[in-house]
Amino acid sequence: MASKPKKPTRRDPQPQGSGLPEVRAIRFHDLKEILALGWRDFSRAPLYGMFFGAVYAIGGIILVASVLHFDMAWMIYPLVIGFALIGPFVATGLYETSRRLENKTPLTWSGILLVVWEQHRRELGWMAFVMLFVFWVWMYQIRTLVAVFFGFQGFATLQGFMDVVFTTTNGLTFLLVGHVVGAIISMVLFSLTVVSCPLLLEREIDFVTALITSIRAVAASPMVMLGWGACVVVAVILSAVPAFLGLLVVLPVLGHATWHLYKRAVV
């Protein structure tokens, strides 16, 4: 009598459709290892990491300066959280740096920057539109919730906004609903991009296939991926507190780690 086929373990590749990259489940101990690999890559090429971290930090400073200029200081908190959503695309240069370190390819500024520039003619360029659209939805829903809960009430300062939010029933309800809606939007974008950006950098596939692969990678390890997403958001928010200067180190470490997460999650 033929023996029963062995059931796949949690580490086995998931069943695939035609033409889709294989994905496999990861575990929580993998997150510790990929963070260590992210730090290793950053320590091996710190100038490259700090350069891309500085680009991201400068972008954040410009956004915050803009809302302060228009007397919308209360938008800083949701802006910083939303700003973290576009990090995977900004980290393209970090993925390329990790790829070269992995393949023992020489690191050159011209080589890495050329690869980043060329992405606007490849499928990865479409990811910018996806992320910017979700970022716009994020900011628009904040404005909508403010209008729903506070009407035409204005907030000249961040302190005034926080006083209303934390001391009134409408404010606490706004806070709860805003975080729930924001968590849903963040989870959607995270599921679409967690491995799709490095996947599109490394392989010649269409961006829809990359999005589907990213969703399937999250579905293969939902709790682990959720933990990773929460780790990224909290790290970016904390690193943005000291005038975004923490991003000079945090962004490159997370960017390099994301590359190694992709390599473990996608066969």
pLDDT for residue 156? 64
How many angstroms separate the CA atoms of 113 and 140, rounded? 33
Please state which of the ranges 14-23, 172-181, 251-260 shows the lowest mean pLDDT.
14-23
Task: Please indicate whether residue 109 or residue 239 has the higher confidence score (pLDDT).
Answer: 109
CB 145 within 8 A of CB 174: yes
- In this prediction, residue 8 has a pLDDT band, given cuts at 50, 70 and 90, of very low
Cα–Cα distance, 195 to 192 (Å, whole number): 8
Domain ranges of the chain: 28-265
| Cα 189 from Cα 138, distance rounded (Å) | 10
**pLDDT surpasses 70 at 16:** no
> What average pLDDT does this structure show over 170-181?
87
pLDDT at 5: 47
Amino acid at 256: H
Mean pLDDT of the chain: 84
Q: Which pLDDT score is estimated for 170?
A: 85
Residue 56 or residue 7, greater confidence: 56
**Cβ distance 100 to 107 under 8 Å?**
yes
Query: pLDDT: is 13 or 135 the higher one?
Result: 135
- Could you give the residue ranges of the DSSP H alpha helices within the chain? 28-44, 46-69, 76-84, 87-90, 92-102, 109-118, 124-150, 158-167, 169-193, 196-202, 207-220, 222-240, 247-265
**99-150: per-residue pLDDT in tens?**
999 999 999 999 999 988 888 778 887 887 888 888 888 888 888 888 888 8
Asked if the model's pLDDT at residue 181 lies above 60, the reply is yes
- pLDDT tens-place string over residues 59-72: 888 888 888 777 77
pLDDT category at 154 given cuts 50, 70, 90 is low
Please tell me the distance from the alpha carbon of residue 87 to that of residue 67, in angstroms, as a whole number: 20
